[in-house]
Amino acid sequence: MVSFHHSLVPLNPEVLFEAPPAPSSSDCPPRRNSYTRSREDFLETTKIGFRKMYYVMEELFHTALAHQLPHGFSFLDIGAAPGGASQYLLNMPECACGFGMTLPVPDGGFPIAVRSQGRYQIHFGDLLESPDRTWIAETTGPVHLVFADAQLLKKSRQRHWPRSDQEARTCLLTSQVLNGLWNLAPGGTFVIRLYAYGSDMCRNETRLIFLLMQHFETVRPFKSATYHAA
């Protein structure tokens, strides 16, 4: 990760690790046990992802963010589900409110598992929905922190115009940057996860870093000491 110094849907805080409803027995009776196992695996994957990002954000917060964010800060979490990073920030007494962007579960995303006491709003959509335009989610006001951690999900990529994984990652990265810069307050902090897959992707990310360096006072890398892929 690298840190740089349309209607929103209110989140139901009681929804915790909610999975899609199981089909009725009339839909697929012979495969009911298989579905149950798949549903349990889905929930377990969601819980693991939630815990991982909770602790990654804890590490990032104490390493780089605590002294940069004001009391009463707000944030935007791009690629929020299942919500571990958002949950950690909401638990901080300095945090006023948060916003999230994520892929809907029916389109291949993970469920949101955040308890927020009404201080969190989620916007569902697909950053790779169209090759001709970028989905921009607007918060109710500029935020102090943007955390961009969206990842390429195979199911989502296959739903739309054909492209290579590298092209999709470049589009995803660009969409996150546009959303982040659109919603970030002056003097805010932008944290984005980079994907160095292949020489072309490395070149694209290097160009992006140099571009952002022209608009931010400081740029610094961050690598979790606990989780290899974060």
Q: Count Cβ atoms below 10 Å from residue 133 Cβ, excluding itself.
A: 8
Q: Give mean pLDDT, residues 105-131.
A: 88
Quick check: 154 pLDDT over 90? no
Quick check: 149 pLDDT over 50? yes
136 assigned to some structural domain: yes
* Residue 4 pLDDT grade (very low, low, confident, very high; cuts 50, 70, 90): low
Indicate the Cα dihedral angle 39, 195, 191, 173, nearest 10°: -90
Quick check: 173 pLDDT over 80? yes
What pLDDT is attached to residue 6?
34
Quick check: 163 pLDDT over 60? yes
DSSP H stretches of helix in 64-190? 84-91, 154-159, 165-183
Give the span between the Cα atoms of 70 and 186, in whole angstroms: 13
Q: What percent of the chain has pLDDT over 70?
A: 75
Q: How far, rounded to the nearest angstrom, does the alpha carbon of residue 174 sit from its chain's CA centroid? A: 14
Q: Which residue has the higher pLDDT, 4 or 104?
A: 104
Average pLDDT, the chain: 81
55 assigned to some structural domain: yes
CATH (domain of 8): 3.40.50.150
Give the span between the Cα atoms of 108 and 92, in whole angstroms: 30
For 191, the token pair is 């944290």
60 assigned to some structural domain: yes
Quick check: 142 pLDDT over 70? yes
When divided into structural domains, the chain yields a total of 1
pTM, 2 dp = 0.80
Question: Could you list the residue range(s) of the whole structural domain that residue 115 is in?
Answer: 2-18+30-221
Q: Give mean pLDDT, residues 14-18.
A: 37
Long-range contacts of residues 154-157, Cβ cutoff 8 Å, at least 24 apart: 154/108, 155/107, 155/108, 156/103, 156/107, 156/108, 156/109, 156/126, 156/128, 157/128
Task: Output the CA angle 53-109-138, nearest 5 degrees.
Answer: 80
24 assigned to some structural domain: no
227 assigned to some structural domain: no
Quick check: 13 pLDDT over 60? no
pLDDT digits (tens, 9 = 90+) for 65-86: 999 999 999 999 999 999 999 9
Question: What pairing do the DSSP bridges indicate for beta strands 219-221 and 95-102?
Answer: unpaired
100-129: string of b/e by CB count within 10 Å (b at 16+)?
A: bbbbebeeebbbbbbbbeebbbbbbebbbb
CB 59 within 8 A of CB 225: yes
Beta strands in 21-94 (DSSP E): 73-78
43 assigned to some structural domain: yes
Q: Which of 94, 96, 97 is nearest to 71 (CA)?
A: 94
Give the span between the Cα atoms of 21 and 2, in whole angstroms: 38
154 assigned to some structural domain: yes
217 assigned to some structural domain: yes
Quick check: 57 pLDDT over 80? yes
Q: Which of 173, 211, 214 is nearest to 194 (CA)?
A: 173
